[in-house]
Structure 1
Amino acid sequence: MPPSNSFTAACCIIGDEILNGKTRDSNAHFLAKSLFDIGVDLKRVEIIPDEYKAIEETIKRLSSQHDIVFTSGGIGPTHDDITYAALAKAYNLPLELDLETCKQMEEKSSHIKDWVLNDARKRMAIFPKPSKLIRTSPELWVPIVVVNENIHVLPGIPRLFERLIHSLQPHLISLIEAKTGRSTPEKYHRIQIATAQPEGKIAQCLTAAQNQVKDYNIKIGSYPKWGQDSHGTRVVVSIVGKDEKAVQALAKDISDQIEGWIYVP
């Protein structure tokens, strides 16, 4: 696991529809932004098929290497939704129907015409045991199922995924506090500098700047545009770190050297 002064995360997107181009994933992007806002290092995002072996191998590896793992997808009512079953198999756990989830599913679906709690829908309430069920949103019957203490299983539907991640933030902050001892998470600070100069001209400056701050856990990124935008921007330089004053000082120094200005997306 990572050192005690850090808190790292990984994300596993599960679904053939992502890999074959039928569906564009947005959940990893939303998760990355949400974690960045509370100072969590998202270290890895992996996309895998709806296959038992792939889910077992990937999730077990990510769980052993990171403080928290998020999965997206594979928990619906059809035959190809195997995430719960694959996790149970990976950790030699039995599967058990959760009656409270069935009850909430019925209550929150009662307004739907001809809706019945059939065997297919019950599949969405069959979880590995033991597991922790986190119910953060009163309007939703879908719980966040936590397996092996740090694997948080979420639906793939973006609207549901986003609502649950948003509602999970207090839980995540409590996990960070328990791991690091900080009552308030160390948030990231990002400043973006635009320049009309090409990457080839500013590369040496950025390399020297990165070497100067290698002990401050500050990362400098360079992102070229195709041609120039309406403001003359050819490259956007991103400076990210948790030491706000150091980020600001470095951004000013780089901006002076590359004739840059603050970039607002």
Structure 2
Amino acid sequence: MTKYLFELGIDLKRVETIPDDYDSIAETIKRLSSQHDIVFTSGGIGPTHDDITYEALARAFDLPLKLDEETCVRMEQVSKTKIEGWSLTEERKRMAIFPEPSIKLRNQDDLWVPVVVVNKNVHVLPGIPRLFERLLESLKPHFVTLAGESTSYHRVQVATELPEGQIASFLSQLQDECNSQNIKIGSYPKWGKTKDGVRVVVSVVGKDQDNVHLVGNKVADGISGWIIKD
């Protein structure tokens, strides 16, 4: 998700891990939904008793739950071709009961799981990593539209054998000079000795690729470092 948003030029502001608990989900989602343009949830949308995400979101936004017939039809069509003897049980129908009103984003014929959008900005995704990733990729046009004029971020990483305390003053001064260019400089020390002698990795991030590389070269010169090739 972090790499995906980085490539779309969308700022990742916060990541929170919470338990399968109605109050925790409701409090967290209502707060994040009110503070951010886009919110993602991952997990808790399966057929078992501890899959409570949809119901928790319904409670959070005081919405009714409703069985989505289109999702049931797609689930049945896809699953019967893959699993012998598969049937649409009441437990499986739980995966098609969504808060209403909500938006269902469906972009792949071989995936019956929709990305349900609640309260206009809460995007509900499954917790299974491969399914999570496939749905994100299939919905890239949707998120590109949400991002508007935003462009991808670019990054240059610079390694140095110097300790962080020795380069801190230079990096602070350079960051002040780069604030108007919307470039962020981050310093990440390595713990203990590394085989290649790297003590710190400095990251330069921004949306103007030329400026990012220009500042990356300044960092390399200023801290006696070298640019890490991807």
| Aligned partners of 1:196 and 1:228 also within 8 Å | no
TM superposition shift of 1:71: 0.5
| Residue 150 (structure 1) aligns with | 121
Give me the TM-score of the superposition, normalised by structure 2: 0.95
Q: Which amino acid aligns with 1:98?
A: D
Structure 2 alignment gaps of length 5 or more: none
| Residue 243 (structure 1) aligns with | 208
TM superposition shift of 1:186: 1.7
Q: Which amino acid aligns with 1:173?
A: V
| Residue 134 (structure 2) aligns with | 163
| Residue 183 (structure 2) aligns with | 218
| Residue 13 (structure 2) aligns with | 43
1:114 counterpart SS class: coil
| Aligned partners of 2:158 and 2:220 also within 8 Å | yes
TM superposition shift of 1:65: 0.8
Match of 1:68 among 32, 35, 38: 38
1:47 counterpart SS class: coil
Match of 2:172 among 196, 207, 228: 207
Question: Matched residues in 1 for 2:182 and 2:71: separation?
Answer: 43
Question: Matched residues in 2 for 1:54 and 1:255: separation?
Answer: 45
Q: Which amino acid aligns with 2:44?
A: G
TM superposition shift of 1:228: 4.2
- Report sequence identity in percent: 61
Question: Matched residues in 1 for 2:4 and 2:13: separation?
Answer: 14
| Aligned partners of 2:157 and 2:227 also within 8 Å | yes
CA RMSD in angstroms, aligned pairs only: 1.3
Match of 1:189 among 154, 160, 171: 154
1:42 counterpart SS class: coil
Q: Which amino acid aligns with 2:144?
A: I
Question: Matched residues in 2 for 1:189 and 1:79: separation?
Answer: 43
TM superposition shift of 1:229: 3.5
| Residue 87 (structure 1) aligns with | 57
| Aligned partners of 1:74 and 1:155 also within 8 Å | yes
Structure 1 alignment gaps of length 5 or more: 1-30
Q: Which amino acid aligns with 2:180?
A: D
**Pairwise mapping of residues 13-162 of structure 1 onto structure 2 (< 5 A)?**
31-110=1-80, 111-162=82-133
| Aligned partners of 1:206 and 1:254 also within 8 Å | yes
Q: Which amino acid aligns with 1:100?
A: E
